[in-house]
Structure 1
Amino acid sequence: MRLNEITYGNAMPVDGYGPGFFRIGGKVHEGAVLTGPDGPGAWNGFDDTAPLLAMTGRVDVLLVGTGAEISHIPAALRSALETAGIGVEVMNSPAACRTYNVLLAEGRRIALALLPV
């Protein structure tokens, strides 16, 4: 068996989550959070499109965690992201965290927008 050390660059894996928070790269973030190539930062939900669109050309896919349950994102948001060339995958936040970590470890160009559970 061959073991390889994983390096994430500025992007950091999701270490954990709980009611109203996410722990990313060892630091706790309260409320909604966006993380990707530049590391984690605050996100104000579906109406806060500017930081999502700022990743145009830097990420191929944005995973959107919609909280404890999966739900649809606004059609206008999906359309804006897809027009910008960013693929969108919607799932509940726990699944989004797990998927993000796997794809990040594979070196994929990925970002994660999370609403708290």
Structure 2
Amino acid sequence: MRLNEIRYTDARPIDGYGPGFFRVAGQAVQGAVLVLPTSLSSWGGYDDLDSILAVAADIDVLFVGTGAEIAHAPAAFRTALEQAGIGVETMASPAACRTFNVLLSEGRRVAAALLPV
């Protein structure tokens, strides 16, 4: 079997996560985060739509990490994002991190809004 190293060019992959934190491109951040291909910021949770809507033109899909277990995102949150033209995929945060990295490596226009595990 041949393994190829993934190169992200200027993109910022999610390197890891743990209780209450995420590590993105080598930078550890406490609490919930919003990860874009080339930037990282704190995220205020489901009530913080403005930070996501501000970058709506730059992303096609948002992966919402709901923490250690999968949970439903509030309907109003999902509806507002879909009306802005953003596809929303909700999953547990570990799965959201992995999925984000795979699509990021393909050069896709993705973002991840992650609640800590």
TM-score band w.r.t. shorter chain: over 0.9
Equivalent in the alignment of 1:7: 8
User: Structure 2 CA distance, aligned partners of 1:17 and 1:4?
Assistant: 21
Letter in structure 2 aligned against 1:20 = G
Q: Deviations over 1:74-96 (max 9, x none)?
A: 11110000000000000000000
**Residues 92-103 of structure 1 mapped to structure 2, 5 A cutoff:** 92-103=92-103
Equivalent in the alignment of 2:82: 82
**Residues 1-117 of structure 1 mapped to structure 2, 5 A cutoff:** 6-9=7-10, 11-117=11-117
User: Structure 1 CA distance, aligned partners of 2:110 and 2:9?
Assistant: 11
Structure 1 residue 4: deviation in Å? Answer: 7.0
Contact 1:61–1:111 (CA under 8 A) maintained in structure 2: yes
User: Structure 2 CA distance, aligned partners of 1:3 and 1:37?
Assistant: 21
Query: Gaps (5+ residues) in structure 1?
Result: none
Q: Comparing 81-90 with 33-42, which one deviates more in the overlay?
A: 33-42
User: Structure 2 CA distance, aligned partners of 1:38 and 1:77?
Assistant: 24
Q: Deviations over 1:94-115 (max 9, x none)?
A: 0000000000000000000000
Q: Deviations over 1:41-87 (max 9, x none)?
A: 10010001101111212100000000000001111110000000000
User: Structure 1 CA distance, aligned partners of 2:74 and 2:14?
Assistant: 25
Structure 1 stretches of 4+ with a deviation exceeding 6 A read none
Secondary structure of the structure 2 residue equivalent to 1:99: helix
TM-score between both structures, scaled by the size of structure 1: 0.93
User: Structure 2 CA distance, aligned partners of 1:98 and 1:82?
Assistant: 22
- Of all paired residues, the percent bearing the same amino acid is 59
